[in-house]
Structure 1
Amino acid sequence: MAAQTVSREYYKNRRSLSERFAEMDEKIKVPSFRQSTGKANEVNYWVFDYPPEQELEVRSHIEWLKKHNRKGFDDYELIIYDLYDIIIDRLTEKGFIEKTKKLESRGGIQRVVTAIQRMLRITDKDNYLVHYMEEHTPENAVVLITGIGKCYPILEAPEVFNKVLYNLPQKFAATPVILFYPGTYTEQELVVFNEFVEDSYYRAFRIAR
C-alpha cells in the first residue's frame, strides 16, 4: 500500500493531539507501566506517532512533561534523549563535522550515512548509543526518544530498535521507552514523514491511539 494512502486512512478518524497526549501521560503515571516487560513478555517499547507538521507542538509537550517531572511529584524520572543532539555532539567531539561536509560533496548523503554509522559503530552490539544510554539512564526511568526525524536518513527508527535498544543490558528490559515518530506507525509499518516507508516493524506498540 502506498505511503500516502496509509497515512490518509490512518489519520482519518484520529483523535486530537491533546487527547492523545492525555492518554500517554496517564499511562506513564501507572506503576505497572514501568514494571512490565510489555505484552506477552515483549520489551517495553512504545511509539507515539504524529503528523510531521505537529512537530513543534510535540516538542513543547515533551518539555512540559520534563518540567513537571522535575517537581518531584512522581516516583520515576523522565529521561529525554534527542538522538540528533547526541550524534552531533559525538561528531563534534571527534572533529568529524567538517569531514562529513567534504564526504557529502564528494560522494553524496549515502557516503555520509555510512561514515557516521561506522564512527558510531551502529552495527556493533556495544555501539556508542548503547553505551550512552546505559551510562545516562537511572533506575525508575521512563525514556523518551526524540530527534529521529532530524536524524533521517543517518539513523532510522528500525535501527534504533534493532541495533540500539535491543542491545541494552538486560537490566533495562522493563524500562519503558517511547519513540516519538514524525509519520505513521501501524504496528507493522513505519512511514517517516508520511512519505518514506522504512523497514517493517511490529515489536513496539502505539502508546496512544
Structure 2
Amino acid sequence: MDINLKLSKIEPKIKEPSFLENKGLSNEVGYYIFDYDPKYELKVRKEVSRLTNKYTKESSYPFFIAEFDLYEIIIDILNEKGYLEEVFLFEEEDGLDFSIDAIKSLLKLTSDDNLIVKYILDRTPSNCVVFVTGVGKAYPILRSHNILNNLHQKLDEVPVVLFFPGKYSGRDLVLFNTLEGSNYYRAFPLIQ
C-alpha cells in the first residue's frame, strides 16, 4: 500500500469506537502495529507529530494521544539516574557492546520491573491512545518485542500502537526489513 494512503488511514482508525474501547479482533486487548518501510521514517514521524499535536489533553476530543519515543525514554532514564555521561565513557573505554550491555542492565530490560515499561505505565492516563515510537532509534539497546510483551502484561486499559520501521506479518516483526525476530506477537496490524 502506498505510504501516503496508509498514513491517511491512521486517524480514521484511531477514532473508531471499537478501537477506543480497546477491543482488537476477538475482543482481545487492543495492541496494534503500524509497520512501514524504514525509508519513510521522516514521513511517519511527521504524521505522528501532526496527530499528537491535534489530539492533546487540551483538545475537545474524547481522547488524546500519549506518544512514547523509546530512544527519548532511554535518554530520560539515564539522565534521571545520572548515568548518561558514564555511558559515553563506557563506550569510549570499553566499546559499544559493553556500553549497550550496561544500559540494558540499568534499564532492567529482562526483569519484571523493566524501567521503560514502568516509565510508560506511570505516564499513561485512562483516556488516551498510546503511540510507541523510536523503535529504530533505540536499536540495538532494546528490541520492540521486549517492550510489547512486558506492556501487554501490564497495560490493558488503553489501545497501544507501535510504529515499526520494518515488516509485520501478523506474526513476526522484521526490523529494518532485514533483522528477523524470533518471537510471536499478539498484536494486530493497525492498517491492512
TM-score > 0.5 by shorter chain:
yes
For residue 101 of structure 2, what is the aligned residue in structure 1? 114
Note if contact 2:90-2:99 (Cα within 8 Å) is conserved in structure 1: yes
Shift of 1:208: 0.9
Aligned pair 1:85/2:72, yes or no?
yes
Distance 1:52 1:130 in 2: 24
Shift of 1:160: 1.1
| Cα distance change, pair 120–177 in 1 and its aligned pair in 2 (3 A) | same
| Cα distance change, pair 166–140 in 1 and its aligned pair in 2 (3 A) | same
For residue 183 of structure 1, what is the aligned residue in structure 2? 166
Residue 27 of structure 1: SS of its match in structure 2?
helix
| Residue in structure 1 matching 2:24, options 38, 55, 64 | 38
Distance 2:46 2:65 in 1: 15
Percent of residue pairs bearing the same amino acid type: 38
For residue 187 of structure 2, what is the aligned residue in structure 1? 204
CA RMSD of superposed structures (Å): 1.8
Shift of 1:127: 2.1
Distance 2:108 2:165 in 1: 25
Alignment of 1:126-165 (within 5 A): 126-163=113-150, 165=151
Output one character per residue of 1:49-93: Cα deviation in whole Å (capped at 9) or x when no partner: 111111111111011101221362420111000110111111122
What 5-or-longer segments of structure 2 have no aligned partner? none
Counterpart residue type for residue 56 of structure 1: L
Note if contact 2:117-2:147 (Cα within 8 Å) is conserved in structure 1: no
Distance 1:41 1:116 in 2: 37
What 5-or-longer segments of structure 1 have no aligned partner? 1-14
Aligned positions, number: 191
TM-score by length of 1: 0.84
Note if contact 2:126-2:157 (Cα within 8 Å) is conserved in structure 1: no
Note if contact 1:83-1:148 (Cα within 8 Å) is conserved in structure 2: yes
What stretches of structure 1 move > 4 A for 4+ residues in a row? none
Aligned pair 1:68/2:54, yes or no?
yes
Distance 1:160 1:33 in 2: 21
Aligned pair 1:123/2:110, yes or no?
yes
Distance 2:39 2:176 in 1: 9
Distance 1:84 1:65 in 2: 20
Residue 9 of structure 2: SS of its match in structure 1?
helix
